[in-house]
Amino acid sequence: MNLNQETYKLSGANNVGMIALVIGVVGLVLCGVGYAVDHARFFHAWLTAFLFWTTIGIGGLFMVLLHHVSNSVWSVVVRRIGETMMATLPYMFIFAIPVLLGIHDLYHWSHADAVAHDELLQWKQPFLNTPFFVIRTVIFFAAWALLGWWLYGLSIKQDKEGHSFALLKKFKTISAPGLILYAVTVCLAGFDWIMSIYPHWYSTIFGIYFFAGSIMSNMAFMAILVSMLNKRGVLKKEINSDRYHDIGKLVFAYMILWGYMAFSQYFLIWYANIPEETIFYMNRWGGSWSVASMILVFGHFTIPFVMLMGRTTKRSASTLGFFAVWLLVMHYVDLYWLVMPNIQPDSAMPSWMDFAAMMAIGGLVMWLFWRRFTANAIVPLRDPRLQKSIDLVSP
Amino acid sequence: MSAANEQTQVYQFPEDEPLILGNPTFKDVTNRVLGVLEAKAPRGWWLSLFAAASLAAVLFGMIGWLFWEGIGVWGVNVPVGWGWAIVNFVFWVGIGHAGTLISAILFLLRQKWRTSINRFAEAMTLFAVICALVFPGIHVGRVWAVYWMFPLPNQMAMWPNFRSPLLWDVFAVSTYFTCSLLFWYVGLVPDLATMRDRATSTIRKKIFGLLSLGWRGGNRQWKHYEVAYLLLAGISTPLVLSVHSVVSTDFATSVIPGWHTTIFPPYFVAGAIFSGFAMVMTLAIITRKVYGLEDYITDNHMEKMVKIMMLTGMMVGLAYGTEFFIAWYSGNPYEAFALHNRAFGPYAWAYWIMVSCNVILPQLFWIKKLRRNIPVLFVGSLLVNVGMWFERFVIVVTSLHRDYLPANWDYYKPTIFDIGTFVGSFGLFLTLFLLFIRFLPMIAISEVKNVLPAADPHNYEGHHGSEEKHASGDLGMEGAKS
């Protein structure tokens, strides 16, 4: 693939999009088979994959909002990556439709007969009912589409209009209140999509736990994409090891933030030892679930904590890329660990359907991502801070 | 160019707005900051010290009476067994967090504006933690047993309960104090050396010579210094989160409705930073006014601080909302009762003071004019601290005063001794702070020099017409990074 040094558009890179599309279509076909074989299992696999790709987009939206409100300089050169990922969020609604269709397999509270025999579910019915759940999901995506497309559109406008300081101001004016909308919708999405799978269980930290995993996964995604582009000789001058260092520091920080949220939740529930709360962890300790739990403790926190602490790991494309892939895998394990005990109460049992769903959504999302990414400049080339960002030396 | 003109000028990038106004040389900075210390103490300082020390005397008087009489002098009783002592402890520990955030996290995030405020914010951290530590020390009224807080080997084989969050507090807060002190001191070393070099009396020379640990400002010393500073920033960063998280477990590990909720650790941390920034702002506004340091601690700094306050204030607001939502969602009648009782029970007045000050008030600062309006900021920062004190009061008291047994229910009222102890703790805090601004440089001289235009190696390449002042050769390099 080639980068046009004037327009900063990628050319000769269509094959990436085609490969993604083929993977996506093959995945979709397999998903169809999966649905026919075992629809309950299929919907769970789909929900997990849907969450995985959506959270990367959610993280991208955060990265862009934060970038604008904090007048960030370092991230200008990689902003388009976060923006493109954020702009895929509205399409994720299409992938949410199977989740809504599979609501009876996924969400126990959606069964009228279950509610009829369960006082707690009756209590929660004003919130946990199918129409309102669908409406909320639509609202989440509408909010993210509003912010995402608006900011993305302005960013492309910036490419055309040149060094506009008025635009910088506009970005900020949208992003600051945007963060409030973002915080509320993301927390509620975490409650809705994951926490309500176990309608009796509740945890106030869950929304921001979901958020922490999202921003980490997006930063890891960015690290992978940047290192892959660099390996192919793209943006080699613009993105040097200082930017890797910055991205690496954020991957590290967000990973610790996830660990902090996860530990706070676990620890307080363990200590108080109230059965209605501990059931969540009990369900993740039977059979091979204990292994999955331990993988999270070590793989999602301890090992990357030690490995990413050092300077050299973060400054090299290959080691940072390796741990970024590692953490994305762990992010999937985290989501799997959250969703799957619903259908596999005794033991974790990965299935080919999990791969099929990941292929289907991942392939199509990456195809959409790549189309957009290659259609415009891959850096915001007329952002007034771009040169500052490229020149920035991080000590 | 006068300071006022410079402020009204619009900069292309907000981050390019000068951090220090008036374009001083390195020497100007040294003279300005140390001039405060080398001149005779102004009358106002003596008066303030007298007032603060008198208040501190009130604190010690109250503590003396407490030790003599026992904790019966306080308003605590069944069911509210934890009153103002724990409220004040959490309040003061929280105040400290902004100092650490400014010195450590903002350093890691390359926020250069921190240099004007970090020194006294760190000092504030230390003094706030000292004030906080008073309360666990006295809260049982038996000061002779205070060493039991520590796991000291003894012939009675008595140990503290290692599963008790109160013991973790001892570890968390003492670690916090140690690291903050070290970090603060390391940052002070170059400035202490400057003070030594400028000292006119032998005794001053000896004292600062000792304190500056043989600092000569050599290249290798700077190199080691910067590595040490970075490492200490890295070590202090998790402390910003861990200390108040541990404090939150004092409540959250229990099974008391309104206390046991998983969001407590991050929610406490956000609140701590929120209140700490409010305190930094209060102190900064007074100090810069008194010493005429408006060109070092500028309105730009104020705006940045108030933005962090808006952010953390809204985080706290999100936590309030989440608590309410989950209290309903959980279907747990006790949890729902506790939250309902908070907002509409006998302590509703306290709850709504908290909400108004912490969530509603900061929304004013969406207006840019108000973010640079010093009187508004001053009142706002005071009210935020009122709100944050009430937050701890609401959490502690409303969850306790109506427990599982309605026969126990009571309306907790503080006594004059509760109030005296709390007000007196401000005396201790202000006394320490006044001593600090009298004897040590309240602005980090060497760090401020680092963010001046003159510190930029390309500064003298000739395209900055307005900076001829520097080109005249008067660089005043003593103690500065070159």
- All residues of chain B having their beta carbon less than 8 Å from the beta carbon of residue A119 are 331
- For B218: left if phi > 0, alpha if psi spans -120 to 50, otherwise beta; the answer is beta
What's the pLDDT tens digit per position in B398-451?
999 998 899 999 999 999 999 999 999 999 999 999 999 999 999 999 999 988
Whose CA is closest to A91, among A24, A36, A150, A141? A141
Q: Taking the CA atoms of chain B, what radius of gyration do you get in angstroms?
A: 24
pLDDT for residue B132 is more than 90: yes
Residue-wise DSSP of B20-38: STT---HHHHHHHHHHHHH
- Return the exposure string of B11-48: e unless at least 16 CB atoms fall within 10 Å of the residue's CB, then b: eeeebebbbbbebbbbebbbbbbbebbeeeeeeebeeb
Q: How many domains does chain B have?
A: 1
> Could you give the CA distance from residue A336 to residue A50 in angstroms, rounded to a whole number?
11
B476 pLDDT tier (thresholds 50, 70, 90): very low
B462 pLDDT tier (thresholds 50, 70, 90): low
Q: Within the 13-42 window of chain A, which residues sit less than 8 Å (CB to CB) from chain B?
A: none
Q: Which domain holds residue B254?
A: 21-148+160-481
- For B331: left if phi > 0, alpha if psi spans -120 to 50, otherwise beta; the answer is left
Whether the CB of A127 is below 8 Å from some CB of chain B: the reply is yes
Residue B376: predicted pLDDT: 96
Residue B474: predicted pLDDT: 38
Whether B2 is in a domain gets the answer no
Residue A2: predicted pLDDT: 85
Tokens of A164: 């506009």
Which residues does B contribute to its contact with A (CB < 8 Å)?
A: 12-15, 108, 110, 238, 241, 245, 249, 252-255, 260-266, 314, 318-319, 322-323, 326, 329-332, 366
Residue B330: predicted pLDDT: 93
B473 pLDDT tier (thresholds 50, 70, 90): very low
Q: Which run of H or of E encompasses B399?
A: helix B399-401
**Can you state the angle between helices A130-161 and A165-193, rounded to 10 degrees?**
160
- All residues of chain B having their beta carbon less than 8 Å from the beta carbon of residue A123 are 331
Residue B155: predicted pLDDT: 86
What's the pLDDT tens digit per position in B276-322?
999 999 999 999 998 889 999 999 999 999 999 999 999 999 999 99
> Could you give the CA distance from residue B197 to residue B439 in angstroms, rounded to a whole number?
15
Whose CA is closest to B78, among B335, B407, B415? B407
Q: Residues B88-97: what's their mean pLDDT?
A: 94
Check: CB of residue B6 under 8 Å from CB of residue B167.
no
Using alpha carbons only, give the angle A22, A26, A32 rounded to the nearest 5 degrees.
145
**Alpha-carbon distance B200 to nearest alpha carbon in chain A (angstroms):** 38
Whether B10 is in a domain gets the answer no
Check: CB of residue B312 under 8 Å from CB of residue B385.
no
> Could you give the CA distance from residue B79 to residue B43 in angstroms, rounded to a whole number?
48
Residue A60: predicted pLDDT: 96
Check: CB of residue B187 under 8 Å from CB of residue B444.
yes
How far is CA B121 from each of CA A250, B169, B180, B189, rounded to the nearest angstrom?
25, 22, 11, 17
The residue in chain A having the minimum alpha-carbon distance to the alpha carbon of residue B255 is A272
Look at B318 and A120 and tell me if their CB atoms are within 8 Å.
Answer: no
Whether B11 is in a domain gets the answer no
> Could you give the CA distance from residue B433 to residue A227 in angstroms, rounded to a whole number?
50
Residue B275: predicted pLDDT: 95
What mean pLDDT, rounded, does chain B reach?
89
pLDDT > 70: percent of chain B: 93
Whether B338 is in a domain gets the answer yes
What's the pLDDT tens digit per position in B29-64?
999 999 888 888 888 899 999 999 999 999 999 999
Give the pLDDT of chain A (395 residues) as one tens digit per residue.
Answer: 788 888 889 888 888 999 999 999 999 999 999 999 999 999 999 999 999 999 999 999 999 999 999 999 999 999 999 999 999 999 999 999 999 999 999 999 999 999 999 999 999 999 999 999 999 999 999 999 999 999 999 999 998 887 778 888 899 999 999 999 999 999 999 999 999 999 999 999 999 999 999 999 999 999 999 999 999 888 888 898 999 999 999 999 999 999 999 999 999 999 999 999 999 999 999 889 999 999 999 999 999 999 999 999 999 999 999 999 999 999 999 999 999 999 999 888 899 999 999 999 999 999 999 999 999 999 998 888 898 889 888 76
Look at B266 and A260 and tell me if their CB atoms are within 8 Å.
Answer: yes
Interface confidence, given as ipTM, is 0.94
B11 pLDDT tier (thresholds 50, 70, 90): low
pLDDT for residue B471 is more than 70: no
Residue B17: predicted pLDDT: 85
Full-model pTM: 0.93
The residue in chain A having the minimum alpha-carbon distance to the alpha carbon of residue B325 is A204
> Could you give the CA distance from residue B39 to residue B196 in angstroms, rounded to a whole number?
15
Whose CA is closest to B139, among B58, B80, B55, B81? B81
**Alpha-carbon distance B394 to nearest alpha carbon in chain A (angstroms):** 18
Look at A187 and B322 and tell me if their CB atoms are within 8 Å.
Answer: yes
pLDDT for residue B470 is more than 80: no
Residue B10: predicted pLDDT: 61
Whether B3 is in a domain gets the answer no
Q: 């939250």: which residue's tokens?
A: B339
| Amino acid in position A336 | Y
> Could you give the CA distance from residue B366 to residue B454 in angstroms, rounded to a whole number?
34
Cis bond before residue B79 (omega within 30° of 0): yes
Q: Taking the CA atoms of chain A, what radius of gyration do you get in angstroms?
A: 21
Output B381 or B142, whichever has higher pLDDT: B381
pLDDT > 90: percent of chain B: 75
Whose CA is closest to A124, among B325, B339, B340, B329? B329
Whose CA is closest to A122, among A206, A203, A207, A200? A200
> Could you give the CA distance from residue B167 to residue B358 in angstroms, rounded to a whole number?
30
> Could you give the CA distance from residue A191 to residue B68 in angstroms, rounded to a whole number?
53
Q: Residues B60-78: what's their mean pLDDT?
A: 93
Whose CA is closest to B189, among B461, B460, B454, B444? B444
- All residues of chain B having their beta carbon less than 8 Å from the beta carbon of residue A264 are 245, 262, 264-266
- All residues of chain B having their beta carbon less than 8 Å from the beta carbon of residue A205 are 262-263, 265-266
Whether B4 is in a domain gets the answer no
How far is CA B468 from each of CA B5, B40, B81, rounded to the nearest angstrom?
19, 34, 67
pLDDT for residue B4 is more than 70: no
B14 pLDDT tier (thresholds 50, 70, 90): confident
For B317-374, what is the HEC assignment? HHHHHHHHHHHHHCCCHHHHHHHHHHHHCCCHHHHHHHHHHHHHHHHHHHCHHHHCCH
A136-141 own/partner pairs: CB under 8 Å, 24+ apart: A136/A188, A136/A192, A137/A93, A137/A96, A137/A99, A137/A100, A137/A189, A137/A192, A137/A193, A138/A93, A139/A185, A140/A185, A140/A188, A140/A189, A140/A192, A141/A89, A141/A90, A141/A92, A141/A93, A141/A96
Q: Which run of H or of E encompasses B122?
A: helix B118-138
Whether B235 is in a domain gets the answer yes
Output B142 or A267, whichever has higher pLDDT: A267
The closest CB to that of A71, out of B15, B265, B322, belongs to B15
For chain A, what is the HEC assignment? CEECCCCCCEECCHHHHHHHHHHHHHHHHHHHHHHHHCHHHHHHHHHHHHHHHHHHHHHHHHHHHHHHHCCCCHHHHHHHHHHHHHHCHHHHHHHHHHHHHCHHHHCHHHCHHHHHCCHHHHHHCCCCCHHHHHHHHHHHHHHHHHHHHHHHHHHHHHHHHCCCHHHHHHHHHHHHHHHHHHHHHHHHHHHHHCHHHCCCCCCCCHHHHHHHHHHHHHHHHHHHHHHHHHHCCCCCCCCCHHHHHHHHHHHHHHHHHHHHHHHHHHHHHHHHCCHHHHHHHHCCCCCCHHHHHHHHHHHHHHHHHHHHHCHHHHHCHHHHHHHHHHHHHHHHHHHHHHHHHHCCCCCCCCCHHHHHHHHHHHHHHHHHHHHHHHHCCCCCCCCCCHHHHHHCCCC
Check: CB of residue B184 under 8 Å from CB of residue B100.
no
What's the pLDDT tens digit per position in B201-257?
999 999 999 999 999 999 999 999 999 999 999 999 999 899 999 999 999 999 999
| Amino acid in position B234 | G
The closest CB to that of A264, out of B266, B314, B322, belongs to B266
**Can you state the angle between helices B84-100 and B264-290, rounded to 10 degrees?**
70
Whether the CB of A136 is below 8 Å from some CB of chain B: the reply is no
Q: Compute, in degrees rounded to 10, the torsion defined by CA atoms B155, B156, B161, B162.
A: 20
Residue A213: predicted pLDDT: 97
Whether B164 is in a domain gets the answer yes
> Could you give the CA distance from residue A90 to residue A143 in angstroms, rounded to a whole number?
9
Residue-wise DSSP of B456-471: STTTTSS--GGGHHHH
pLDDT for residue B105 is more than 60: yes
What's the pLDDT tens digit per position in B312-347?
999 999 999 999 999 999 999 999 999 999 999 999
